[in-house]
Amino acid sequence: MAANSEENPSPGSFRLFSSLSDEKPNLNLGFGFFDPSNEPRPSPPPCVEVLSSEVSSSVKYTVEPVNLDGLTLLKGRVRTREVFALSNSDLVPGKYEGGLKLWEGSLDLVKALRSEVVNGNLALKGKRVLELGCGHGLPGIFACLEGAAAVHFQDFNAEVLQCLTIPNVNANRPKRAQPSETNVTSCDTESEVRFFAGDWSEIDKILPHEHGTGDNADFSSGCNPVSGYDVILMAETLYSICVFQNLYELIKKCMSSPHGLMYMAAKKHYFGVGGGTRRFLSVVEKDGLMDFSMVAEVADGSSNVREVWKLSFK
């Protein structure tokens, strides 16, 4: 589903084949055939915590419902042009990473999480949750509504958090609560909600529940049980292979050991741009620290095959 109807990407941007017409190119497209990530990337923006009070009031934000098999969440719509002065672009690597658009993987992830909760495979109540590459943040919002103790949202761009993620959190929470002047807001009376912008290569430095990979972390014995996030979520973050190692190292630094879980939704292959779930899982498998299993496969013809996977420490 392409929730954003913008067409004709500008030079320097690329699309992630979110519609059938985007997908058709040719079956010989393999990893790296055209990978804009091979081009030099600009220095990433600095890592910052974005306060809920820093919500944008200058960019037009309209809200609409999204129905997820009977669960209705609200999502905002803002114009990429208004926020980034980019015309008709899904994504400009290293500058704007696509967070203003709602990608189908995030809807797959919410549905999968809901079914995991219903089937008793996952409890979010009281958990510390991190959503990486959140954009609209619907999976994190779902965790919040399920009673997570803390939900921390990360996006590459602070503007995405200010113009879209924070308003979405506010739109989905009970109306009586208002954003405070502090860095902590709440979309459920129980949940601490915070927002962090920056690149995966260094965002761990400002995430509150990062536990490091040095002497502080012992993945095999679980000697550091109170640190780290209980559940990490991410959707449509696996398109660019050049960031896989940073992303995987970040997950290892942030996921609570030994019982932490990660749920990730993405396309099996992003033809033409190199990434995909399988390519990322080959990095995970090679490292040997984590197990993984498929939670859902979506082959609805609206895009190439999409998958949801669950990862945990061995």
Ligand X SMILES: C[S@@+](CC[C@H](N)C(=O)[O-])C[C@H]1O[C@@H](n2cnc3c(N)ncnc32)[C@H](O)[C@@H]1O
Write out the residues near ligand X by the rule CB under 6 A.
97-99, 102-103, 105-106, 133-136, 155-156, 199-200, 235-237, 243
Burial profile 236-275: b = 16 or more Cβ within 10 angstroms, e = fewer: bbbbbbbbbeebbbbbbbbbbbbebbbbbbbbbbbbbbbb
In this complex, which beta carbon is closest to ligand X, that of residue 210 or of residue 236? 236
How far CA 78 is from CA of 13, 141, 161, 260, in Å, comes to 19, 18, 12, 34
| Closest-approach residue to ligand X (CB) | 133
In this complex, which beta carbon is closest to ligand X, that of residue 133 or of residue 179? 133
10 Å CB burial of residue 8 (0-12, 13-18, 19+) is exposed
| C-alpha–C-alpha distance, residues 141 and 148, integer Å | 10
- Using DSSP, state whether 298 is helix, strand or coil: strand
CB of 76 to ligand X, least distance (A): 12
CB of 9 to ligand X, least distance (A): 14
Q: The dihedral of CA 116, 119, 120, 124: what is its sign?
A: positive
CB of 278 to ligand X, least distance (A): 18
In this complex, which beta carbon is closest to ligand X, that of residue 268 or of residue 291? 268
CB of 229 to ligand X, least distance (A): 16
Q: The dihedral of CA 126, 261, 141, 212: what is its sign?
A: positive
CB of 30 to ligand X, least distance (A): 21
Phi/psi-derived region of residue 28, left when phi > 0, alpha when psi is between -120 and 50, beta in every other case: alpha
In this complex, which beta carbon is closest to ligand X, that of residue 136 or of residue 279? 136
CB of 199 to ligand X, least distance (A): 4
In this complex, which beta carbon is closest to ligand X, that of residue 76 or of residue 99? 99
CB of 124 to ligand X, least distance (A): 18
In this complex, which beta carbon is closest to ligand X, that of residue 69 or of residue 215? 69
10 Å CB burial of residue 201 (0-12, 13-18, 19+) is middle
